[in-house]
A = this chain, B = another copy of it.
Amino acid sequence: MKRQVKARLPRGFRDIFSDNYKLRLQMINTIREVYESYGFIPIETPAVEFVDVLGKFLPDSDQPDGGVFAFRVDDRWLALRYDLTAPLSRIVAMYKDLPKPLRRYQVGPVWRLEKPAPGRYREFYQFDIDIIGTDSMAADAEMCMILCDSLEALGFEPGTYIIKASNRKILNGIIDMSMQALSENEYIKQVLSWMAAKSKSKPSAELKKTEITPAIKLEHKLDIMRCIDKLDRVGLEGIQQLLEKGRKDETGDFKSGCFLSQKQIKPILEFLKIDCSNREKFLNSVSDLITEEHGKEGLDELKEMDEILSTAGYNDNRVIFDTQVVRGLTYYTGPVYEAFLTVKTTDEKGKSVQFGSVAGGGRYDDLIQRFTGQKIPATGTSIGIDRLLVAYQNIKKNELTSSTPVLVTVMDRPRLTDYQKMAQELRQAGISAELYLGKKGIGAQIKYADQRQIPVAVIAGEDEFNKGEVTLKDLRLGTRLSGEIADRDKWRKDQPAQIQVPRDKLVEGVKEILGRYR
C-alpha cells in the first residue's frame, strides 16, 4: 500500500472556481477591448526570468528572498516574475527593432513571496499597459483616460471611481526643500540617527560624512516617501510621528521614524494639507508652495496633463490631482497615478467598506537603462485584476453569469446512444447540453442538475420512447415561484414545470423553456 498524500495547497495560493473564473474572463476581455482601441498590442513573457534581470524594485525590501520565488536551474538563479514591468524592460532591451513608441499590453499572474493575509495572495493577476519611448505628457494623460474608459466599460460610472494623479518630482521637490532647511552637519547627524534606529543600534560615532553614500541618502528619502504613502492608514498625526522618531501601531509594533526636525516636517505637512478637490485648486496651491526647481518641473508636467485631460473631457469628476498619491515602487520618476473605487461594497464578512485602490502606475524613465545604458522614457499602468474582480462581482451579482448547459438525463441505460443523440442535437442547435454520465437514478440526476444550476432537464423513459415524446423539466421554476410572482396559480398553469413534446420538437421545447428566463 502506498502512503496516502494529503490534498492541500501551499499558503497564499488558491483555486478559482467557475463563476469567478468566468467573471474574470469577462472583465479581462472588456479591458482588453479598451486597451486595443488605444492601439496597444499584446506581448507575453514567460513566468520565469533570471533573477538579475528582474532586479529588486518591490515596495517592501525586507521580505525573505527579496520577496520573490527564486530557484537554481542549470547553475543559474531564476525566479518567478513579481510584476510585468521588469520583463517588459527586458523585452525593450532585447528586441531593439520594435516600433517606438511601443504600446504593449500584458495580462497574467505574478508571484510574490510575501506574508499571506486575508485577501493577499502569493499569486495574483495584473493587467498592464505601457508606452515606451516617449516622454510626452500626452502618454501619461492617456494612461489616466484609459483607466477611466476601462472602469466605465466594466460598469463603474464616474462618481463610483476616481483617478488620482500626482508627480514624483513635486514630492521630491518638497522633500528637497525640507532637507535644505538643514546644515550639512545637521543632515549627517540626522541620517546617522535614522540609520541607527533602523538597525536598532546606537549612532556610530566613527561613521564619517564620506560614508554616507548617495545610495544611503536615496534610501533615507525613499523612507520619507514611504511614510507619506501611509497617510490614508495613519492620518496626518501618524505621518508627523513617522517623520519624527517613529510610531507605535495598533498592534503595539514600533516603526522607527525618519528623524526630521519640526522645521523640516512643516513643508511636508503643508503639502499634504493641500485642497485636492479639483485640479485647478491643486495646481494653484502647489504653485504657491513649491520653490525648488525639480518640483516646478513636476508641476508643469501636471499642468500639461490637465490641459490634455480637460480637452478630452476627462474632468474633475473622473481625474483629480492628489498629494497622497506616492506609489511604493522605487523606480518612478515623474507622473504617478492610481485608480480608486469610491463606491461602498460589502466585504466577505458582510461589512460595508470603501473599496480603495484597484490600479496604479507611473512614469519610469530610468528603468530600462539598467540594460541598455541609455535612458528610454516609459510610462505604464497596472490593473489589479483580483481586487477589481471583487468589486465587479458586486456589480454583476444579479446577472446570470454562468451559461450552464441543459442536462439530458439517463432513465434507461441501454438506450444511452439515444440520449447521446439528444444532447448532440441540442448542441448542434447552439444549446450547451450535457449527457448525464454517472450511475445514479433519476432523482439524483435532478439533484445534480440543481447543484449545477442547470435550467432544463430532458427526461425520457420507456413511456416517452413508446409515445415518441420527451419530457422537459423547468428546473428554475421552483426558484422563480418562490420569488416575485403574484398570481401563482395562473402562472403555474401558463408555465408548467414539466412539458411533453414530440421527440422531433426537442430543440423547440428546450428553447421555449430557456426563453422564459431571458
Seen from chain A, the residues whose Cβ lies within 8 Å of a Cβ on chain B are 2, 4-11, 13-18, 21-22, 25, 36-39, 41-50, 52-53, 55, 69-71, 73-74, 76, 78, 80, 89-91, 93-95, 99-101, 103, 109, 111, 113, 122-123, 131, 133-134, 136, 138-139, 142, 307-308, 311-313, 370-373, 402-405, 407, 416-417, 420-421, 424, 427, 431-439, 448, 451-452
Contacts and interface: CB of A to CB of B under 8 A. Distances in A.
B437 A4 contact: no
7 contacts: A9-B90, A10-B73, A10-B78, A38-B433, A69-B73, A100-B448, A136-B437
A99 B18 CA distance: 13
A432 B122 CA distance: 35
Nearest to A416: B138
Contact of A2 (B109, B131, B370, B436): B370
Contact of A433 (B6, B8, B37, B73): B37
Name, among A8, A55, A402, the residue most crowded by chain B CB atoms within 10 Å (CB to CB).
A8
B10 A48 contact: yes
A113 B73 contact: yes
Given A16-B43, A38-B405, 12 more contacts: A5-B52, A7-B90, A7-B91, A9-B94, A10-B48, A13-B46, A15-B45, A18-B42, A36-B405, A69-B71, A136-B438, A138-B437
Given A8-B94, A134-B438, A403-B36, A123 B43 contact: no
A373 to B, nearest CB: 6
Contact of A4 (B47, B370, B452): B370
Name, among A37, A52, A69, A435, the residue most crowded by chain B CB atoms within 10 Å (CB to CB).
A37
Contacts of A9: 46, 49-50, 90, 94
Contacts of A136: 416, 437-439
Nearest to A373: B4
A76 B10 contact: yes
